[in-house]
Amino acid sequence: MADTAKTAPAPATKRKFGRGFDVKQQTGFPTIAMLCFLMLYAPILTLVVYSFNAGTSVAIWEGFSWRWYISAWANEQVKDAAFRSLTIALVAALVSTFVATLAALATTRTKPFPGLTFIYAFINQPLMVPEIVTGVALLIFFAAIKNATGYTGLGYLLAAHTAFCIPFAYLPIRARLENMDLSLERAAADLYATPIQTFRRVTLPLLWPGILAGGMLAFVISLDDVVITELVKSGGQDTLPTYMLGQLKRVVTPEMNAISSVFLAISIVMVTIFFLINRKKS
């Protein structure tokens, strides 16, 4: 009698899982994404188009013209506010980037110690608190100083913008430092380089793209700020954004569209440069 062949049970087939949750594959995602982009950018595109309107209406197209760009360029108040905005943004970017670089070096080129998390939170506090809260706090603080000293100059705006821009400059600089290979700095120390020589010849050249990116980001943030500037500024210290806000309360003309379009172009150029500097190289 032949032995009955017993077939061993086949091993259980391993359950195959997909690649995981992919939001792009969800039903309706492309439509929702396109609607979001449309709602975000259609008003901006409309603003840019109507900045070339030949007429005075912001809703009726009357032909193509550079009239409002020429008008804005000839407006002394616009030029004065623009020069003040650029001055404040440049000073705030330089000072905040310098302070942010020192803070990033102090928090990344050291061993972890108690309180380091608190320092991170303290530096990034302006990012976590609503801007209106920061503006009101600065208003109260600077009002006390004005009453005590009588000084009402531009220094308050410079100090406020600098303090607000520090975390924006700090984040890309810190990210750059955290991604840098410490072996190069250790090799320089092994070759008897002093800490200053190591920083100047090794750390700074590698860190420079992060510093430049942080500086440009701080410049754009300061240039576009409205809330803090509106609360801190004194009479006759309008920046271009606050000047535009005041004009919009009176009358809306395509000149405001032209100024906004120029601001938009500056912001796009700065953000593009920021992206190109920080993009990862293969």
Q: What is the tens place of the pLDDT at every residue in 151-180? A: 888 899 999 999 999 999 999 899 888 888
Domain membership of residue 16 (yes or no) is no
Domain membership of residue 96 (yes or no) is yes
Instruction: Say which CATH number the domain at 256 has.
Output: 1.10.3720.10
The DSSP secondary-structure symbol of 111 reads: -
Q: Quote the pLDDT of residue 4.
A: 47
Domain membership of residue 43 (yes or no) is no
Look at the chain and report how many structural domains it folds into: 1
Distance CA 27, CA 270 (A): 36
Distance CA 144, CA 86 (A): 27
Nearest CA-CA partner of 274 in 203, 209, 179, 224: 209
Token pair for residue 150?
């009588």
Domain membership of residue 27 (yes or no) is no
Of all residues in the chain, what percent carry a pLDDT higher than 70? 89
Measuring CA to CA, how many Å separate 229 from each of 139, 149, 157, 164, 222?
A: 10, 21, 7, 11, 9
Q: Quote the pLDDT of residue 21.
A: 63
Token pair for residue 180?
């840098």
Q: What is the pTM of this model?
A: 0.77
Question: Is the dihedral angle over the CA atoms 162, 163, 164, 166 positive or is it negative?
Answer: positive
Domain membership of residue 226 (yes or no) is yes
Domain membership of residue 18 (yes or no) is no
Residues 6+ apart with CB under 8 A from 271: 220
Q: Tens digits of per-residue pLDDT, 204-254?
A: 888 888 898 889 889 989 988 899 999 998 888 889 888 888 887 777 778
Domain membership of residue 69 (yes or no) is no
The b-or-e profile of 242-265 (16+ CB within 10 A means b, else e) is bbbeebeeeeebbbbbbbbbbbee
Q: Which domain holds residue 122?
A: 75-278
Quickly state the pLDDT bin for 1 (edges 50, 70, 90). very low
Domain membership of residue 182 (yes or no) is yes
**Alpha carbon of residue 206 to chain centroid:** 22
| Res. 68: pLDDT tops 50 | yes
Residues 6+ apart with CB under 8 A from 232: 135, 138, 139, 142, 156, 157, 160
The DSSP secondary-structure symbol of 25 reads: G
Beta carbons within 10 angstroms of residue 196's beta carbon: 8
| Res. 5: pLDDT tops 80 | no
Nearest CA-CA partner of 229 in 167, 160, 162: 160
Q: Tens digits of per-residue pLDDT, 19-32?
A: 566 666 777 778 88
